[in-house]
Amino acid sequence: MSDLPDTNVLEVDNLSVSYSTEGGELKALRDVSLDVPRGDIVGIVGESGCGKSTLISAIIGLLAPNARPASGAIRFRGEDLLGVNDDKMRALRGDEIAMVFQDPMTSLNPVLTIGRQMRDIQYRLPDSKAEKNARSIRMLQRVGIPDPESRLHDHPHQLSGGMKQRVAIAMALMMKPALLIADEPTTALDATLEVQIIHQLKRLQEDIGCSILFISHHLGVIAELCDRVAVMYAGEVVESGTVREIFHAPEHPYTRMLLACDPGAISERTRVLPIIRGFLPDLVDLPRGCVFRDRCDSAIEACSDKPPLQVRGADRLVACHRAGETP
């Protein structure tokens, strides 16, 4: 069970992060809790502005300069990352915790060769240049890049988007991290490539035995890839559980609406695509009660009080007063 600390690679515990802005304190994350069990792939879904990026930045210790010190805990293999110094955090990044970013077009350095960049991230190893290159070539081979040896001499602009993202994955997994954080790694790619990359990622994850925190707004990809999923809305986790539970029996109204809006789930021909009416609440001046109340169709009197996370089923959490009622 996920309660035992040694089975979780990552435990985010009541994490709150705010930014100082001109308009006031922007509360980007509020009491977010999330576990990533060893060897699992955990998805995070949510629309833009739900705090996904802040969560990632907080985990890898690269919050924007205007972020206030975070409260709560981020435990990586039992150690609270919020307490470690910059050098220790930097030692973990790229070695134990690796990242794949959203836009492969801009996430590689444009003026250095692929080989150089791949060698550079092995800077902690005492190996010779030739050994590092050999490791890079093996890794490029594993992510399915043809003729990897000559790719080392290429610059990023000489590769296609899909190739670049494969390179980025190869770079991230080269040091065999315990945790890979993938921030919408397939959003910038076309659909067929997306499927290929997802399968590749899953295979590599099984080979290497790492855990993945997979951020996406593409529900189909989450369903395909992940074991567990957390749904975020306006800086809070509103529902989390196994993919099966969340996708087959969503309990939070936001999750239900999100699933209904997924173009992949729409089977009938329609002129009007479903939307969630209204806008995200102002994170500087938060409304009282449930954050989703203003956009919720099933809001009741009780929703003016903040709903606590209720444990529903094996280890599923829902933050809704009406959880459990049949919709």
Partner 1 sequence: MLRFITRRGALSVLIVVLAVSLLFGMIHMLPGDPASVILGPRATPALRAELNERMGLDRPFIVQLGRFLGNVATGDLGEDPFSRRKVADIVLEQLPFTLTLVFAAIAGATLLGVPLGCYSAIRRGSWLDRLAALLSVAFIAVPSFVVALYALMFFSVQLRWFPAIGAGDSGDLADQARHLVLPAIALGLGWIGYIARLVRASMLEVLEENHVRTARAFGLPERVIIGRYALRIAILPTVTILGLGIGTMLSGALFAEIVFSRPGIGKLLYESVMTRNYPVVMGSVLVTTVFFVACTLASDIVNALLDPRLRESEGR
**Residue 61 Cβ vs partner 1, minimum distance, rounded to whole Å:** 9
| Site mask for partner 1 (CB under 8 A), range 104-123, x = bound | --xxxxxxx-------xx-x
Task: Give the shortest CB-155-to-partner 1 separation in angstroms.
Answer: 4
E strand map for the chain: 8-21, 24-37, 41-45, 71-76, 79-80, 97-100, 179-183, 211-215, 228-233, 236-242, 310-312, 316-318
Binding marks (x or -) toward partner 1, 83..102, rule CB under 8 A?
A: -------xxxxxx--xx-x-
Of the pair 19, 233, the CB lying nearest partner 1 is at: 19
End-to-end CA distance of the chain: 29
In whole angstroms, the minimum distance from the beta carbon of 312 to partner 1 comes to 35
Q: For partner 1, what does the binding mask look like between residues 37 and 66, x meaning CB under 8 A?
A: -----------------------x-x----
Tell me how far, at minimum, the Cβ of 186 lies from partner 1, in Å.
16
Q: Which is nearer to partner 1, 62 or 300 (CB)?
A: 62
Residue 271: is it exposed, middle or buried by C-beta count within 10 angstroms (0-12/13-18/19+)? exposed
Nearer to partner 1, 111 or 272 (CB): 111
Could you tell me the two tokens for 67?
């972020």
Query: What phi, psi does 27 have (nearest 5°)?
Result: -90, 90
User: Are 174 and 149 a contacting pair, CB within 8 Å?
Assistant: no
Nearer to partner 1, 119 or 293 (CB): 119
Identity of the residue numbered 42: V
Closest separation in Å from C-beta 262 to partner 1? 28
Residues 156-215, interacting with partner 1 (CB under 8 A): 157-158, 168, 171
SS3 139: helix
In this structure, what DSSP letter does residue 159 have? Answer: S
Least distance (Å) between residue 311 CB and partner 1: 34
Looking at beta carbons only, is 82 or 249 nearer to partner 1?
82
DSSP string, 173-234: HHT--SEEEEESTTTTS-HHHHHHHHHHHHHHHHHHT-EEEEE-S-HHHHHHH-SEEEEEET
Q: How many residues does the chain have?
A: 327
Site for partner 1 in 123-142 (CB under 8 A): 123
Q: Residue 60 belongs to what H/E stretch?
A: helix 52-60
Positions touching partner 1 (CB under 8 A) are 60, 62, 90-95, 98-99, 101, 103, 106-112, 120-121, 123, 155, 157-158, 168, 171
